């Protein structure tokens, strides 16, 4: 299925621009643009200091505008997880895209090959991960078909994904990766570009020391695999990986040459629970759910944000008070409601109509629930709506 045509922004959304935060309906996903910009600056500075490339993951924000903003700040391009996300990013003017995932369905690979052709013709680049001989053969077939169809000589950059402990996709580090490299190099439309060694599970390990230990092993396994490949006379240009939780470890490893971290831009409640590594930039929460109280009882109040407005796979959202300590705890109230209870005995309950701000547990699937984000400058209390950020790849699953 091709990327969907997105409808134009509604008049009521456009009219919001220039208005106070008070005018934002609830529940709505709001970006604190000042905090986001500070996060972006900190990331750019970090990667400059460590002399490492960054290719932030657009699966988090799914917005071509934010992808372009990151590239203006120094990112080399974006990562995505899905072919449809790559198409949405390309449609939004992003020209260097890495599908950090395996694609095996022939009709999807035909789309991948078409996109590779288009980006190659525009001096851009499409990259993709593989973890099986079958996957490489199917990709090569699709690229050859596209070349014959178009008469052009499109190329796709191919990364061999190795499983450095995530336990999901990827071949084991070592010989199997080398065999895949040989297979890739048999096909003229495929260019072996390096290794992907992403350790997703490490991102959410709370102890900074444990994260360092885990990524040290991952880096050793990537280095060992790289050495095996280079021993056959094949250069390994790049090892790529890392998320916001572990990025300081990959950056310091001497093995990784590119960081894929994406969540730093918005910083969700889950990442904020990690013990901060001293080397890690101090990223701030920049993504919030504006919600309001719609029912108030004696022992609890109810707000209008439930898990149709935020994902709960990494826990419930946290109540955020822009100018103080939260006195309320958010409890699960189902798809459309949140239950608010005093965070400590005697703390007052909010009244009907009171506005609250929530920090989502996990940015990526939360953003995917919304067609747009409302960008605010000047803070959550007295700020003004500056822009509407379209979630171009919302629901882009295929």
Interface with a second copy (CB under 8 A): 1-2, 4-8, 10-13, 16, 25-28, 59, 81-82, 101-105, 107-108, 131-132, 134-135, 163, 167-170, 200, 292-297, 300, 302, 307-309, 311-313, 332-337, 339, 352-353, 364-365, 368-371, 395, 397-398
Residues 137 and 186: their CA atoms lie apart, in Å, by 10
Q: Residue 27 or residue 194: which is nearer to a second copy going by CB?
A: 27
CB of 5 to a second copy, least distance (A): 5
Q: Is the Cβ of residue 8 or residue 324 nearer to a second copy in the bound state?
A: 8
| 10/207 with CB nearer a second copy | 10
Minimum CB separation from a second copy for residue 14, in Å? 11
CB-nearer residue toward a second copy: 52 or 59? 59
The dihedral of CA 108, 173, 47, 206: what is its sign? positive
Q: What is the largest CA-CA distance in the chain?
A: 74
From the CB of 42, what's the least distance to a second copy, in Å? 25
Residue 306: CB minimum distance to a second copy, A: 9
What is the nearest approach in angstroms of a second copy to the Cβ of residue 88?
13
Shortest CB 311 distance to a second copy, Å: 7
Question: Pairing state of beta strands 96-99 and 125-130?
Answer: parallel
Residue 346, number of CB atoms within 10 A of its CB: 6
Tokens at 324, concatenated: 């103080």
* Cβ atoms within 10 Å, residue 30: 22
Q: Which residue has the tokens 């490949």?
A: 229
Q: Which is nearer to a second copy, 253 or 274 (CB)?
A: 274
State which residue, 28 or 260, has the beta carbon closest to a second copy. 28
- Compare residues 315 and 379 and give the one whose CB is closer to a second copy: 315
Helix axes 175-185, 133-150, angle to 10 degrees: 20
Closest CA relative to residue 360, chosen from 352, 349, 351, 368: 368
Q: Which two tokens stand for residue 344?
A: 């400590």
Shorter beta-carbon distance to a second copy: residue 72 or 332: 332
Minimum distance, C-beta of residue 108 to a second copy, in the bound complex (Å): 7
| Cα separations in angstroms, 386 against 13, 30, 121, 196, 283 | 11, 11, 35, 37, 21
Residue 9 is classified by DSSP as P
Location of structure tokens 């504006």: 290
The three-point CA angle 62-68-72 to 5° equals: 145
Kindly state the smallest distance separating residue 176's Cβ from a second copy, in Å: 10
SS3 125: strand
């Amino acid at each position: 299925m091709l990327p969907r045509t997105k409808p134009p922004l509604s008049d009521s959304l456009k009219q919001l621009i220039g208005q106070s935060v008070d005018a934002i309906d609830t529940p709505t996903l709001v970006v604190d643009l000042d905090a986001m910009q500070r996060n972006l600056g900190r990331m750019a500075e970090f990667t400059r200091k460590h002399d490492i490339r960054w290719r932030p993951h657009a699966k988090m924000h799914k917005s071509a505008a934010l992808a372009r903003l990151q590239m203006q700040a120094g990112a080399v391009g974006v990562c995505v997880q899905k072919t449809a996300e790559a198409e949405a990013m390309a449609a939004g003017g992003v020209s260097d895209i890495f599908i950090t995932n395996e694609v095996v369905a022939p009709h999807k690979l035909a789309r991948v090959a078409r996109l590779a052709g288009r980006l190659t013709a525009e001096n851009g680049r499409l990259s993709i991960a593989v973890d099986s001989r079958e996957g490489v053969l199917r990709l090569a077939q699709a690229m050859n078909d596209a070349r014959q169809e178009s008469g052009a000589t499109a190329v796709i950059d191919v990364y061999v994904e190795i499983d450095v402990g995530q336990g999901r996709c990827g071949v084991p580090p070592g010989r199997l990766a080398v065999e895949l490299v040989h297979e890739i190099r048999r096909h003229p439309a495929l260019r072996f570009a390096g290794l992907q060694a992403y350790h997703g599970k490490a991102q959410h390990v709370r102890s900074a020391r444990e994260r360092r230990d885990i990524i040290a092993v991952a880096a050793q396994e990537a280095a060992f695999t790289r050495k095996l490949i280079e021993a056959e006379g094949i250069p390994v240009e790049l090892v790529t990986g890392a998320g916001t939780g572990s990025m300081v470890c990959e950056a310091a490893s001497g093995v990784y040459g590119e960081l894929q971290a994406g969540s730093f831009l918005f910083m969700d409640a889950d990442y904020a629970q990690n013990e901060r590594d001293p080397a890690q930039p101090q990223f701030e929460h920049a993504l919030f759910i504006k919600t309001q109280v719609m029912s108030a009882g004696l022992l609890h109040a109810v707000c209008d944000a439930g898990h149709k407005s935020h994902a709960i796979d990494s826990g419930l959202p946290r109540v955020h008070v822009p100018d103080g300590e939260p006195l309320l705890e958010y409890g699960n109230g189902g798809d459309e409601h949140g239950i608010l209870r005093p965070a400590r005995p005697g703390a007052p309950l909010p009244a009907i109509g009171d506005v609250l701000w929530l920090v989502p547990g996990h940015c990526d699937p939360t953003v995917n629930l919304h067609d747009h984000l409302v960008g605010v400058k000047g803070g959550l209390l007295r700020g003004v709506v500056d822009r509407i950020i379209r979630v171009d790849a919302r629901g882009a699953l295929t």
